[in-house]
Structure 1
Amino acid sequence: MNALTLPDVAAQVSRQTLPLDWVGMCGIATPVLIDGQRLSATADAGVSLDDGEARGIHMSRLYLALGLLEKRPLSPSLMRQILERFLDSHEGLSDAASLSVHTDLLLKRPALISPLMGWKGYPVSINAHLKNRVFHVELKIQIPYSSTCPCSAALSRQLIQQQFVDDFANRKLEHAEILAWLGSSNGIVATPHSQRSTATLSLRLDANVEELPLQSFINEAEAALGTAVQTAVKRADEQAFALANGQNLMFCEDAARRLNTALARSPQITALDVRVVHAESLHAHDAVAQSRWTRDLS
């Protein structure tokens, strides 16, 4: 008895002849290698369906091509190789392919003063696209930080000044008494509001970039903001963090401008989109600012 040929429904002609921009799979579980770390990730993989008469694509071919992710460190060249496999396996059907990898990059961060260290996770997405032999990679990185409101700080200082007048009006001032006052509850009668904030960086890499400079971009962003959230801390670290916040008062507009200025200097990127969200502790809504920059290639 002859073995029956398995039916291939995807090879049938579609009843509706219409090309599709993207067809594929999302949320594919996969390990990836980034900066020497083996991380748990998910991938989105797909191609265009340019042959409007084709019923569908071959998703199993895309899935099998993703096996390269667990064998080699993630890089632009590796992602391009995978995308080329996508298109080679869909010759005549597709002329565009995309691959997105989503994971949390783990970086060990030192405390500000003490010798303590701890791990911090940064959600990242690496998005690669190949169409008509034109290839590019975009990075998306989320960075948490602390922000203290300049307006609230000014109002708090005014209240402290008023309390000082109320407590010491028409009196001869003694150094020891003032020092004790500054350390009392009256000396800090008001405090400015601050909040955990998030910067989302979307960066298009220059075509000549061979590695994924995730950590360097994170370091540049945190240095520009000056108030990166901490991991393990002692009291000396918490005090240093309070000082950093006091010296880096910022509205969301300030944060967006700082990040734009710092990252636009990088020769590794050709375009960026910065979006900052200050999850206000004063209001029930968020304060948001966004900034875009594109390198002039003329």
Structure 2
Amino acid sequence: MTSTNACKELPCAMPDVAKQPHTGPKGTLNWVGMSQIELPVFVQNLQGGRIQMLARVQAYVNLTDPDSKGIHMSRLYVALDNMLAMNDLTPEVLGATIQQFVDSHQGLSNAAYLECRFDYFERRNSLLSDNSGWKNYPVRVAASLRDGQLETEISVDVPYSSTCPCSAALARQLIQEGFRETFGADTVTVDAQQVYAWLGTTQGIRATPHSQRSIAQVKVKLVDVVNHLPITQLIDCIENALQTPVQATVKREDEQEFARLNAANLMFCEDAARRLKQALSDDASVRDFWVRVNHMESLHAHDAVSIVVKGVENGYRDDPHEYVHPT
């Protein structure tokens, strides 16, 4: 009887390469897992509504056994499918999921990392008119488990407008010079109505300060007692500190108010970073933060950047790059 016929009569065991002796180079590994996993999750808004999101997930455990061929990736996916998919994204769910990562790899792993990236849509009111529109904020939620210690992190990118204080001062000087050229340097009495009309002409406002779309990249580690993901609250904190968030639906009165807010909140990138540092330092739900503000210059071909961290022991480092993978 040939081996082929034997397999037809008796069930053949499927080969398991993972159980065969490891003959290659041996050593421990920091992280092993999967990325770009697409899963449906739910995020609760301030009104208690459940909003479904498509999350792109990364899942990792470390490999502490130098003799093992590798981890059981299918166990990571099963944990994600059973505990995270179609569930509310909360610190509790994130913590239970990565604990399952470690529990399913006893003898192989003692640390885990889980990351979910998604587009978070907020309906935002216009500045003055009775309109509102949708704004999208890229969000990253991550949880890590090391030495039995769970940490939950939220990252969000918030766009805003920044107007250069230097160019504002230079524009004011040109307007002053235009006034002197039009009405004279030695005039004691100037007709108010004439000046009012002149200011409404292109000759009256002969220069405007340059402004640019800017991005605040903010990462925060939450205190342990937080039982939800305060994404909207974090966005509100950032936009309230900066005062010039980009708009969705805009009528003329909204555009005028936006111009007024820009003039009232002139800021270099250093000013924006200091505002956010103060606002986040006052937030009781935030244990640590990392902030990078990017002013995408309209004058220069490069960006102006400022970075600040809270400065807690063993906290975020002040590296210029955005954190992507666990360290």
- TM-score, length-scaled by structure 1: 0.97
Paired residues of 2:40 and 2:86 also in contact (CA < 8 A): no
Instruction: Report the counterpart of residue 7 of structure 1 in structure 2.
Output: 15
Render the CA deviation track for 1:141-184: whole Å, top value 9, x for unaligned. Answer: 10000000000000000000000000000444111111100100
Identify unmatched segments of 5+ residues in structure 1. none
* Contact kept in structure 1, 2:110 and 2:146, CA below 8 Å: yes
Q: Which runs of 5+ in 2 are unaligned?
A: 1-8, 45-49, 315-327
SS in 1 for 2:283: coil
Deviates most, 87-96 or 10-19: 10-19
1:26 lines up with 2:35 in the alignment: yes
Matches within 5 A, 1:1-298: 1-14=9-22, 15-35=24-44, 36-67=50-81, 68-169=83-184, 170-171=186-187, 172-295=189-312
Q: Bigger CA drift: 288-297 or 187-196? A: 288-297
Cα distance between partner residues in 2 of 1:76 and 1:125:
13
Identity between Structure 1 and Structure 2 (%): 45
Shift of 1:258: 0.1
SS at match of 1:74: coil
Measured after TM superposition, the shift of residue 295 of structure 1 is 4.8
State the alpha-carbon separation in 2 of the partners of residues 80 and 13 from structure 1.
Answer: 34
Question: For residues 182-238 of structure 1, what are the alpha-carbon distances to aligned partners after superposition, in whole Å with 9 as ceiling and x for unaligned?
Answer: 100111100000000000001011111111111101101100000000000100000
- What is the Cα deviation at residue 87 of structure 1? 1.1
Secondary structure of the corresponding residue to residue 152 of structure 2:
strand
Q: Which is further off, 286-295 or 245-254?
A: 286-295
Q: Highest Rg: 1 or 2?
A: 2
Deviation at 1:270, TM superposition (A): 1.2
TM-score, normalised to structure 2, is 0.88
State the distance in 2 between where 1:24 and 1:237 align.
48
Matches of 2:304 and 2:86 in 1, distance apart? Answer: 43
**Shift in Å, 1:2:** 2.3
Give the superposed CA RMSD. Answer: 1.3
Query: Once the 2 structures are TM-superposed, how far is the Cα of residue 18 of structure 1 from its aligned partner?
Result: 0.4
Deviation of the 1:91 alpha carbon: 1.0
In the alignment, is the contact (CA less than 8 A) between 1:104 and 1:124 conserved in 2?
yes
Q: Is the 2:222–2:285 contact (alpha carbons within 8 Å) kept by the matching residues of 1?
A: yes
**C-alpha distance in 2 between matches for 1:277 and 1:218:** 16
